[in-house]
Amino acid sequence: DQQVKQNSPSLSVQEGRISILNCDYTNSMFDYFLWYKKYPAEGPTFLISISSIKDKNEDGRFTVFLNKSAKHLSLHIVPSQPGDSAVYFCAATRAQKLVFGQGTRLTINP
């Protein structure tokens, strides 16, 4: 039972444009959502998070939006830079453990 889903395995975006990564979840008991970025052969690096009581959180070029009624969250990166090319995971938490989506590979083209 995949409680957190990232339905797009890959995304390609022009440098300078906006990247939008999407994530859906099924468990309404999740209380915190996080986005991680992962390079090959490295562990996930924390990017940004949002509490379930909020609908938006912004940190520099990164903004996360949460739509609880749709059980959907998205990560916006603007402007996109070549160094943003990586695999992005959304994760949700309840009772300590993180539940991850399958990841979306983002490629920023020059």
Partner 1 sequence: DTGVSQDPRHKITKRGQNVTFRCDPISEHNRLYWYRQTLGQGPEFLTYFQNEAQLEKSRLLSDRFSAERPKGSFSTLEIQRTEQGDSAMYLCASRYRKETQYFGPGTRLLVL
Selected binder of partner 1 within 1, 29, 69, 97 (CB under 8 A):
97
Contact 92, 101 (CB under 8 A): no
Selected binder of partner 1 within 41, 69, 70, 83 (CB under 8 A):
41
Helix (H, G, I), strand (E, B) or coil at 43: coil
Length, in residues, of the chain: 110
Contact 93, 3 (CB under 8 A): no
Question: What is the C-alpha to C-alpha distance for residues 110 and 13, in angstroms, rounded to an integer?
Answer: 9
Question: What is the C-alpha to C-alpha distance for residues 37 and 90, in angstroms, rounded to an integer?
Answer: 9
Binding string, 52-81, against partner 1, x = CB under 8 A? ------------------------------
Determine, following the binding rule CB under 8 A, whether residue 96 of this chain makes contact with partner 1: yes
With CB under 8 A as the rule, give the number of residues binding partner 1: 24
Determine, following the binding rule CB under 8 A, whether residue 99 of this chain makes contact with partner 1: yes
Determine, following the binding rule CB under 8 A, whether residue 4 of this chain makes contact with partner 1: yes
Determine, following the binding rule CB under 8 A, whether residue 44 of this chain makes contact with partner 1: yes
Determine, following the binding rule CB under 8 A, whether residue 36 of this chain makes contact with partner 1: yes
Return the bridge partners of 87, or none: 38, 105
Give first-to-last CA distance, the chain, whole Å: 38
Site for partner 1, rule CB under 8 A: 4, 31-32, 34, 36, 41-46, 49, 89, 91, 93, 95-103
